[in-house]
Structure 1
Amino acid sequence: MNIDAIFTDLDAHTLDPARPRAQKIGVFAGRIIGFDEELDGVTADRVESLGGATVLPGFNDVHCHTAWFGLTLASIDVTALPGGLPDVYAALEKAAATTPSGEWINATGYAHRDYDGQYPELSRLDEITGDRPLFMRQTSGHAAIVNTAAMKRARILEPGFSDPVGGKVVTDAAGRPTGLLEETAQGLVQDLIRPYSLDTIVEAIDLATAYYAKEGITSFGDCGIAYGWIGHSPIEITAYLRAREEGKLRARAQLLPQADGLHEIAANSADGFGIGLDAGVRTGLGDEFISLGPVKFFMDGALSGETAALRKNYEGKDHPGYLQDDAEVLRKQILDTYASGWSVAVHAIGDAAVDAALANIVDAQTRHGRRAVPNRIEHAALVHDEHLTTLADNGIVVTPQAAFAEGIGDGMNASLGPERRSLIYRAKSFVDAGVLLAGSSDRPCADGNVLRGIEAYVTRKTRDGDIMGSAVECLTPDEAIAAYTSVAAEASGQGADKGTLSRGKLADFVALDAHPAEVAPNQIAQIGVRATVLGGRFTHDAR
């Protein structure tokens, strides 16, 4: 028998209890056909030595923003510049010098906590940019900084302007806009830039997934495409199809449309259809390379900007954040969407938002049953003990980001205070309660390197040397690996095809210089990625 490839000289940790370890992997037609002695007497078109590497199932980041990340790679990066605000101004000055009059300046990566809680002064931004409109996105994605030219184009400065539902144009004590736009208010300016062209989005996917390949990522969930302030074009799925056709998609994509695009469909009344997307497409459509996942809903904002909806006020503040819309409106949208065959992924960060999201999902499942692709709580940042049983009993997935620890962990600890910090981005509590905890980064809102994410789950270390939340929530290296592999696959409804190295599953794996359990916890992120294999073919090869 002759097959496509045999990978040798490796130590595979398969995460499959039926065969936990292997030294050889055989591949035929993009899937694993056998291991070790099962390959005796078998020949192959290619025999690939991995030089003694540790092999794990390919990494799966179930909640990231791939096209957005690719666009940031071509934007001005103002992430934690060492010289503070003067360096931010200098970067913008450099960009303005090469940007034609009237053209947009796009920047990304601003986080006020990196700059002593300060935001750029609008007058200084205007001085630098002149008539060039500026859109500078916060790292969290839940706020943006713009200049006067941009606000004029968006008609924010006109008499009678009022904030959009679920967002805010921040003003100073005199009622003048500061240039900071929160949540849905960003769309007022973004809609002047979007939709991006297909060429631009395909190029962004190309850049992003080339980056992913170098980090061992073979699958991802692009969370919130096509619509709303997080989407890039109403035909964004076409960009993914084109990227695949042109060889520019180097990982398997589960696409989660943003709920803003849902609308009434004129289906037969007997079908009980709620709201959906045209032609009745829904979760599960697609193949092993590109498929539709759940619909993404925003229940609230972010802890970093203190817009997430809490039960009680932020520490030392007089407000608890806010929901993105009226609670009953959000509930009806979720129920109507679920009735149409979609699974749902509800962004809920504050505990008040988690309360509502859980109630809505449980109600939907009670009415219509569970789905092959599980429902999810995105981020699940502030979860109480009473939530754990509800999550586990109802098979609801959570996607908390340990990667937030380094960048905004200290700020979140301060925002919640000592009594609530133990609830922040829990991990071990989910695992012990039997809740599916799927590994994710929210990239580009945080570092998306999976090995760094695994290290963050293990250490939870913040930039100032503290622990994000509580140390009792630290995972073992094996638990963190499972989050990004076997659990991620199950949480995406794709456990039959990926997540473990098993005969018949897709031949997606990563070859590392060491196993994360074999190095010091604070050295996991430094492990080299020797190769990444997708369907038996290298997408990254540094042997």
Structure 2
Amino acid sequence: MTNNPSTLYRAGVLHCPADPSATALLVRDGRIAWLGADADAPAADRVVDLDGALVTPAFVDAHVHVSDTGLALSGLDLSAVRSAGELLDAVSVFAAGLPAEAVVLGHGWDESTWSVPQPPGAVELGRAAGGRRVYLSQASIHSALVSSALLAACPEAVAVPGYDESGWLRRDAHHVVRAAARASVTRSQRVVAQRVALRHAASLGIAAVHECGGPEISDEEDFTGLLAVSGAGLPEVYGYWGELGGAARARELGAVGAGGDLFADGALGSGTAHLSRAYADGEGCGHGYLSAQQVRDHLLDCAVYGMQGGFHAIGDAAISTVLEGFAAAAQRLGTERVRAARHRVEHAEVMDRRLIAGFVEFGVMASMQPAFDRLWGGAGRMYETRLGLARSLASNPMGAMHAVGVALAFGSDSPVTPLDPWGSVRAAVAHHNPVQRMSVRAAFAAHTRGGWRAVHLDSEGVLALGAPATFAVWSTPAGVERGLPVLQAEDLQARGVDDPTPLPVCRATVLRGAVIYEEGAS
């Protein structure tokens, strides 16, 4: 054995457009040292027989909240409840196993899926939890249900926007109670939650995630603690710190960008995304949290410190404001310097041609979540309720953006939607609006190479000679076609968001030559 042992992976099917006939690859010193046909393979210190499995570049999830994901995976999952009664029953069962002083943390309820979309009140929640403090984030994470005990512990929430005595809090009031609930989680619990989330990501073929932190989302200790475990037998973590004018602080914290969840607006689910036309199911157009001048100044601050910037913007009014800020920054810096920074917009759900053209002009990367359309798009779902059918079908226009050259990076926004990379690829392929559908190849690229490009690592996300050996090995029960799994049913009538075709199952995930997940390993 040498000091740097090599590993040959052989007898597989490789997603390698430069050599479609390749069935093997050699890994040495964390890179792909050779690839080609089995018969031509060089000697290696170790040989792994792939037994016909598919090998692809590993996934990158471009928008994740790692600690919250881990807490959701190990906490109270409310995504399956379909009524206020079911939610209360779930809280009661879960709370019964906790100490009296514990805070009940839950996530994922979505009243738009209920026949009677009326959640329980603060008093009912407290009764179900045996008097404990309760914090239950809605699927969008932009609002939450809280119990009377938690409201009493946060008197400052009463005086800020978004407070409601029912216990369903939004906007600033939600931020207050969220901070109080998070403070109940100990540092050791957060470390465990982070590792749970990252190990789960690795088991799904994800080798890197983009953590979207910031003072309204997490705290500095949580953020830096997460970055400290990046790549240590786990997926790599690239951090974005969403603090207005905080480019210097983002750099000090080890972030790759001063953006992510730097909120220009809220979310459609909570009625706080900023729209140019009023919501179909309520009054008003939501809420914009930034001005064009603030966007401009943030981008100028990013330029001073050589940082990538970015903003959370969902509604078309919020996106318009962000692009006004980009235009103002370009007047100071020049358009090419703005483009070179590859600034980002997270979500970009309600768009039109003018806004898409702005993304092209300023080289804005769109960090998008195909599962949003899968879960909430189409007739009879949340987007139609909030926006009306026409606007709902025009939302999440990833196909139109890809067609004109907008750079896409796909992710989950977990725990808003689950970590599910192949499910996200299929969601982009089977968008509710046929006009917005993408090819499997394009959607896969957005969820792999797109995520690396978003952090300026352009050589990553491919199986190529000399490239980092970062890949995943898959069982493909539905077969392989042109180097990628079959994700859609042969029967055209069966295709769509509820397609029964089984998705690939990860057998191993390799990051820069190191195995970070192996099926069956403890």
TM-score exceeds 0.5: yes
CA shift digits 1:257-291 (9 cap, x unpaired): 1216x55xxxxxxxxxxx5218x538xx6xxxxx6
Alignment of 1:240-319 (within 5 A): 240-244=226-230, 247=232, 250-259=234-243, 276-277=248-249, 281=252, 292-296=256-260, 297-319=262-284
Pair 1:373–1:104, CA change in 2 (3 A): same
TM-fit CA distance, 1:100? 3.0
CA contact (8 A) 1:198 1:239 kept: no
Q: Name the structure 2 match of 1:228.
A: 215
The 3-state SS of whatever aligns with 1:184 is helix
Alignment of 1:82-481 (within 5 A): 84-116=83-115, 117-156=117-156, 161-163=158-160, 167-170=161-164, 177-195=165-183, 196-223=185-212, 225=213, 227-231=214-218, 233-244=219-230, 247=232, 250-259=234-243, 276-277=248-249, 281=252, 292-296=256-260, 297-325=262-290, 328-368=293-333, 369-370=337-338, 374-409=342-377, 410-460=381-431, 467=432, 470-481=433-444
Pair 1:394–1:244, CA change in 2 (3 A): closer
35-44 or 23-32, which deviates more: 35-44
Pair 1:148–1:61, CA change in 2 (3 A): same
CA RMSD, 1 decimal: 2.6
Between the two proteins, the alignment pairs up a number of residues equal to 494
CA contact (8 A) 1:57 1:501 kept: yes
The 3-state SS of whatever aligns with 1:526 is coil
Pair 1:526–1:42, CA change in 2 (3 A): closer
The 3-state SS of whatever aligns with 1:345 is strand
The 3-state SS of whatever aligns with 1:61 is strand
Corresponding letter in the other structure for 1:214: S
Separation in 2, partners of 1:333, 1:495: 25
Instruction: Tell me whether 1:75 sits opposite 2:75 in the alignment.
Output: yes
Corresponding letter in the other structure for 1:527: P
Q: Where do 5+ consecutive residues of structure 1 fail to align?
A: 171-176, 264-274, 286-290, 461-466
Separation in 1, partners of 2:162, 2:202: 38
The 3-state SS of whatever aligns with 1:500 is coil
The 3-state SS of whatever aligns with 1:281 is helix
TM-fit CA distance, 1:209? 1.3
TM-fit CA distance, 1:94? 1.9
TM-fit CA distance, 1:459? 1.1
Pair 1:178–1:22, CA change in 2 (3 A): same
Q: Name the structure 2 match of 1:7.
A: 9
TM-fit CA distance, 1:394? 2.1
Q: Name the structure 1 match of 2:493.
A: none
Instruction: Tell me whether 1:535 sits opposite 2:503 in the alignment.
Output: no
Separation in 2, partners of 1:438, 1:331: 23
Pair 1:380–1:524, CA change in 2 (3 A): farther
Separation in 2, partners of 1:374, 1:182: 31
CA contact (8 A) 1:103 1:132 kept: yes
Pair 1:532–1:366, CA change in 2 (3 A): farther
TM-score by length of 1: 0.84
CA shift digits 1:20-69 (9 cap, x unpaired): 45211111111111212699573222111111112111011111212210
CA contact (8 A) 2:103 2:132 kept: yes
Separation in 2, partners of 1:539, 1:150: 40
Runs of 4+ in 1 over 6 A off after TM superposition: none
Q: Where do 5+ consecutive residues of structure 2 fail to align?
A: 490-498
The 3-state SS of whatever aligns with 1:52 is coil
Separation in 1, partners of 2:41, 2:419: 41
Aligned identity (percent) is 25
TM-fit CA distance, 1:341? 2.4
Q: Name the structure 2 match of 1:510.
A: 472
The 3-state SS of whatever aligns with 1:495 is coil
The 3-state SS of whatever aligns with 1:355 is helix
CA shift digits 1:179-217 (9 cap, x unpaired): 011133222112224455442222112101111111111
Separation in 1, partners of 2:205, 2:500: 17
Separation in 2, partners of 1:363, 1:6: 53
Corresponding letter in the other structure for 1:162: A
Separation in 1, partners of 2:208, 2:6: 22
TM-score by length of 2: 0.88
